[in-house]
Structure 1
Amino acid sequence: MTQSPALPLPPPKERRRLREKGSLTQDQVAARVGVTRKTVRAWEAGRTAPRGRKREEYAKLLAEFAQLEGGMTAGQTEPDETEVTVRLAKQTPPPAEPSQPTSTTPALTPAQAFDALYAFCAPALVRQAYLLTGRRELARESVERAFQLAWQRWPEVARDRDPASWVRATAYEYALCPWHRFRLRYRHPEAPPAEATDRVLMDVLLRLPPPYRRTLLLYDGVGLGLAETAAETEASTRAAAKRLLHAREAVAARLPELAEPSGLHRRLTELASTERLRAAKPTTVRVSGERRARFWTRAAIAFTVAIIGATTLTLRTAPTRYEPPVPSGETVRGVPPKAAPGPLSNVELTLRSKLRSETQNGPERLVPESR
């Protein structure tokens, strides 16, 4: 059986124009194709190209936009939003109409679906994050933060084609964030594994650059294909293949017995399984995520109120007209300095004594004597 030829992709600029012509945002296109908004933005900018099944979905969506545009250029009137939505909805199966009650399993609530996803993915993700960072506490924190973000954006995550991949990518990005090195609790290294071979393998992994380490773990540890690994790391297939080869060479240089991919996969699984890494309960993660969201919401509201209050106070106290500044004083030259009184002469002393001895009050007057 021969496969049908793949649909061609238009140039990057044409992709964006067709999306805007279809009245869809990047978030809506990402939800339909099953990727993130960052990936759709990279496709429209030409930095990366879709691969595999996601490329087919993306090409079909763009072809639908092109057909809509072709119908308008053939003399039809421009379709409204309702018609565009109806045409694009043909790609997804319609929702099942309500029928009579049957014995099928009832639908899960959002909390139950989240708890099921957490119970299925969290233990393995904690071990994978430990291989990425070499820190047990950071591994648990990365997985909890990823699931907290997933709970905050649960409608989007629940509609994703692979919610586990969404959470895994978020946990990996948080675990490999370079800002962790500035935190006080992560400045000191943790205790290495007990076995000598495990310590050597962990040291080799931590010496790899983060993109190489992530590619090696996804391909040889998790078991993803090369196309899926490239898509999750947001790199081209050629770049992902080069990273994988360089990472394998670095591991084989220190541990020649792990030159075979099967042996490397087995050792990564054993290294992650030897550590006792436990994830928190899903209820705890959901409650802590809601508390964190409420805290940051209140902090943002308080900050906004403070800015508004400071602006109002400034407007109240600021002058309404221009007041020129008072000039600094200038030194006046040519004025003789004020002389201080000197000592009295003998004549002045005699006169002062005489004046003090005479009567100063009453009807009598002091008459100067003639000489």
Structure 2
Amino acid sequence: MTQGAATPLPTPKERRRLRESRSLTQAQVATKVGVTRETVRSWESGRTTPRGRKAEAYARLLSQLAEPAESAEPAEPAELAESTAPVEPSGPAGTTGPTEPAEPELVGAGAPARTPARKNRRAPSPARPARRRTPRREPAPSERPGTPPEAFDALYAHCAPYLVRQTYLLTGRRALARESVERAFQLAWERWPEVAVDPDPAGWVRAAAYEYAMSPWHRLRRAHRVPEAPPADPEDRKLLDALLSLPPAYRRTLLLYDGVGLNLPETAAETEASTPAAANRVLHAREAVAEQLPGLAVPEQLHQRLTELAGSEKLDAPRSTTVRSGGEKRTRFWTRAAIAVTVLIVGATALTVRVAPTKYEPVPAPGAPISGVPPLTGPQHMTEHDRKLRQRLRAELSGGPQRLAPVAE
């Protein structure tokens, strides 16, 4: 398989999954492409996008990593496989293998491209070649959705019922599980051009729903302070309490690995952790659950109990048309709110420019008392006695002084 410069690169999540499926480090990929380890880390996190010759070299490397990933099932680390594989009786030919469980309802949205039930797989050996995947049947042209709403409705019908049950196991709250799935699909409809070309649209929606459900801001809501009604079955209640007692990161990793059925590289990529860290989280989460419920020490029994617990709750997702219309209404509301705020800011700015002074007018300094000034020596303010004297003088001398008139004799 060749990939030119014009071919779009996989998503950051798919880049990391391809690298970890071949057990390569970021430093090894950086050496092959000719960049630094920090550059590869930024490519896999989505902060930057490769360009030019580096993009061509990175695309060729990812194409080479994708070829064996499509033909053989990636092997899990030996320490996790040995610690989780149960002791099973030998068959007539001396081989061991767990019994294939029935298809659970919890796995439908987790691994649509793989087998529904995940078994503990050991690393392939020369005597035991790796099992090849069954090639996927391409849908007929009449089965493929023609319009974006039809494609969205098909994805919603396939993933929403299972995803609501998974989110309930993650949070233990029914209303929050429905709300998380609804918000995740609304976000997917807003970014449908990106989700439609994603290699794993179900994983994209699942990651969005998990992130919304595990947000720490929900604990500030009034509805979150009211305790949720526990399951009716005492065994289901104990299992749910054991799950909710785990840290959020351990709970999510255990649900993805033992509940949904993802392998370690995919679980690590979705939880944004390294593959050894994801393996350790699975082991510690299993030990914590087995400590409270000794009967679930076997991974197959834990997987079956998680499926039964999710299926025992009546959790129905709303219709896809309701989710799409609700998302569109929400988008229109926030768009209009943003436009209104922008118009308000522009109007306030224009009014400020209009009424602002065009030149600087210094403000007169406030007065302050001054001491040490000698008193005035000139005329002072007239007192009441001085005013009366002045009035009397004015009244008496109104006709002027008398004159002496000469008399002739």
The answer for the alignment partner of 2:181 in structure 1 is 143
Q: Give the match for residue 353 of structure 2.
A: 315
For 1:308 and 1:30, how far apart are their aligned partners in 2? 41
1:131 counterpart SS class: helix
Structure 1 residue 54 displacement after superposition: 11
Aligned residue type for 2:327: G
String of CA shifts for 1:47-104, please: whole Å, max 9, x gaps.
Answer: x993117979xx99x97999xxxxxxxxxxxxx99xx8xx98xx79xxxxxxxxxx95
The 5 A counterparts of 1:25-40 are: 28-31=8-11, 35-36=12-13
Give the share of equivalent positions with the same residue, in percent. 57
Of the two structures, which has the highest relative contact order with CA contacts closer than 8 Å and spacing of 6 or more?
2
Alpha-carbon shift at residue 225 of structure 1 (Å) = 1.2
CA distance in 1, matches of 2:18, 2:397: 116
Q: 1:131 is matched with which residue?
A: 169
Matched letter for residue 229 of structure 2: A
> What is the rounded CA distance, in whole Å, between the counterparts of 2:248 and 2:319 in structure 1?
29
Residue 197 of structure 1, CA deviation: 2.1
In the other structure, the counterpart of 2:142 is 105
Is 1:50 matched with 2:19?
A: yes
Report the CA distance shift for 1:241/1:138 in structure 2 as closer, same or farther (over 3 A): same
Amino acid in the other structure paired with 1:50: R
| Aligned amino acid, residue 155 of structure 1 | P
Q: Answer whether contact 1:142 1:172 (CA < 8 A) is retained.
A: yes
Distance 2:240 2:166 in 1: 12
Structure 2 CA distance for partners of 1:335 and 1:182, relative to 1, 3 Å: farther
Q: Which of 278, 286, 294 matches 1:256? A: 294
Distance in 1 between the 2:211 and 2:254 partners? 15
* Unpaired segments ≥5 residues, structure 1: 1-21, 67-79, 93-102
* 1:280 equivalenced with 2:318 (yes/no): yes
Contact 1:133 1:175 in 2 (8 A): yes
Aligned equivalents of 2:176, 2:23: Cα separation in 1: 32
State which drifts further: 243-252 or 184-193: 184-193
1:166 corresponds in structure 2 to 204
In structure 2, C-alpha distance between the alignment counterparts of 1:159 and 1:65, rounded to whole Å: 28
What SS class does the counterpart of residue 328 from structure 1 fall into? Answer: coil
- Residue of structure 2 aligned with 1:305, choices 334, 343, 347: 343
Q: What amino acid is aligned across from residue 336 of structure 2 in structure 1? A: R
Which residue among 211, 231, 236 is the counterpart of 1:198? 236
Q: Secondary structure at the match of 1:51?
A: helix
Output one character per residue of 1:148-180: Cα deviation in whole Å (capped at 9) or x when no partner: 111111122111111111111111111111111
Secondary structure of the 1:200 match is: helix
Distance 1:314 1:104, change over 3 A: closer
Report deviation, 1:325: 2.6
Give per-residue Cα distances to partners, 1:169-222, cap 9 Å, x unaligned: 111111111111112222222111122222222122112111100000011111
| Alignment size in residue pairs | 298
TM-score normalised to structure 2 length = 0.62
Equivalent residues in 2 for 1:63-78, closer than 5 Å: none
**Kept in 2: contact 1:143–1:171 (CA 8 A):** yes
Asked if the contact 1:49–1:236 (Cα under 8 Å) also holds between the matched residues in 2, the reply is: no
**TM-score when normalising by structure 1:** 0.67
- Name the aligned partner's letter for residue 257 of structure 2: Y
Please give the root-mean-square deviation of Cα atoms over the aligned residues, in Å: 4.1
- 1:166 is paired with a residue whose SS is helix
Secondary structure, counterpart of 1:320 in structure 2:
coil
Q: Which residue of 2 aligns with 1:115?
A: 153
Output aligned runs, 1:6-17, within 5 Å: none
Match for 2:195 among 140, 144, 157?
157
- 1:268 partnered with 2:303: no
